Amino acid sequence: MAAGIDDLIEATPASRDRYVDFLRAASILAVVVGHWTIAVIAWRNGVIRSTSAVGKAPGLWLATWVFQVMPVFFFVGGYSNFVAYQSNRRRGGSSLAFVRTRARRLLVPSAAFLVAWAVIQVVLHLTDTGAPTEPVIGGVALLRGVRPPGQTIPFGPLWFLGAYLVVVCVAPFTVALHRRFRWWVPALLVVGAVVGDVIGFAGGVSGARYLNVLFVFLLPHQLGHFYGDGSAAGWPPSRLAAMAGVGLVGLVLLTNPWLFRWAGDARFEWFPGIGHYPRSMLGTDVEMVSNAYPPTLCYLFVGFWLIGLVLLLRPALSRWLQRPLAWKLTVLANARIMTLFLWHMTAYLAAIVVLWPLGFGRETVPSARWWLERPLWIVAPTVLLAGLVALFGRFEAQGRR
């Protein structure tokens, strides 16, 4: 693989936007390390799962305002899909061919992941290892030892890939909308997100909140089209600072109780127990409302804040990426980025199997020992993940061909 990385580095054209590759790698790596860092492990009655420390450690929610980087990944996806679609059209390719090619990159490594885990589950059933869990079909529990895909271990990455696959499928449509209506499209997505939350919370129609899976996730992707057509590169720093500022101010306003006091006790019906949007950008076990599942206006504002910030940092980091070592690390991370993302919680699960019998990972709250163990719970999964990437990375390469 080292020779392949060197070939990619040598083949890098001067016109390539290295910053996009850096953002893609950095956002996924932030998710991986973040998942490993905040996990509180539970291994009870033959089932392994994890909960988030964010709701249990005072002030840790603030880290999610920096490390909830999925909007940045969707922004990069908007750039990549725009550029790839334009290239596809110049070659005379159809929209279907574009979607098929882009979807293949996601589906081939994901299929390898699912097949491997199907084999693991069959072995667990045959050896009667681990307790059976939901879902149950025909009286038989399909999974053993782990919870269904809604839990982070090991299937958490699949929900994101499913959402992004939908975005890829509609990319030809979003590109067409961008070329014709420009800023009207992001404006309507913002309006849709506001309406979704108002109806979902104040209107009591909780199902309406799931419309924001479309509005909130498509917004950073649509903004990425402006980066893809070159417009965003010309935005002055003042506009980028205003964008980041709007996002940050919006987060502060929505996550503080005084903004909602006008609603009286009704605010506690909208946001049970707190009377305002949760401060964490991740779901926690101690809050009845999540900003991420489905995404809320807070998730939208964290997208504005982080996209504005990364665009402000673009000139300095682009210069840094001209250095050989910085660019080599970026290329190396991107070469197997999908495999790394798919398997990172499997690596964490394997680390639990190894370290739990040794007495590690047994703290149920973010105690002093829990914090002292954090480096171990980053290093051990990293070693195991390297092996998984070496084993399954070939499927990502096949998906790209």
From first to last of its 401 residues, the chain has per-residue pLDDT tens of 555 677 677 777 777 899 999 999 999 999 999 999 999 999 999 999 888 899 888 889 999 999 999 999 999 999 999 999 999 999 999 999 999 999 999 999 999 999 999 999 999 999 999 999 877 777 778 899 998 765 689 998 888 888 899 999 999 999 999 999 999 999 999 999 999 999 999 998 988 999 999 999 999 999 999 999 999 988 999 999 999 999 999 999 999 998 999 889 999 999 988 899 999 998 776 778 889 888 999 999 999 999 999 999 999 999 999 999 999 999 999 999 999 999 999 999 999 999 999 999 999 999 999 999 999 999 999 999 999 999 999 999 888 87
The residue whose two tokens read 């750039």 is 79
Residues sharing a CB contact under 8 Å with residue 366, sequence separation 6 or more, in sequence order: 40, 53, 56, 57, 60
- Which residue type does 318 have? S
DSSP conformational letter for 295: B
pLDDT at 134: 77
pLDDT at 1: 59
Bridging pattern class, strands 47-52 and 132-137: unpaired
pLDDT at 138: 72
pLDDT at 334: 93
pTM: 0.93
* Sign of the C-alpha dihedral computed for residues 112, 7, 102 and 219 taken in this order: positive
Q: What are the domain boundaries of the chain?
A: 2-9+17-400
Write phi, then psi, for 140 (nearest 5 degrees): -115, 125
Residue 368 Cα to chain centre, angstroms: 28
**DSSP letters for 223-281:** HHHHHHTTTGGG--HHHHHHHHHHHHHHHHHHTSGGGGGGGTTHHHHHSTTTSS--S-S
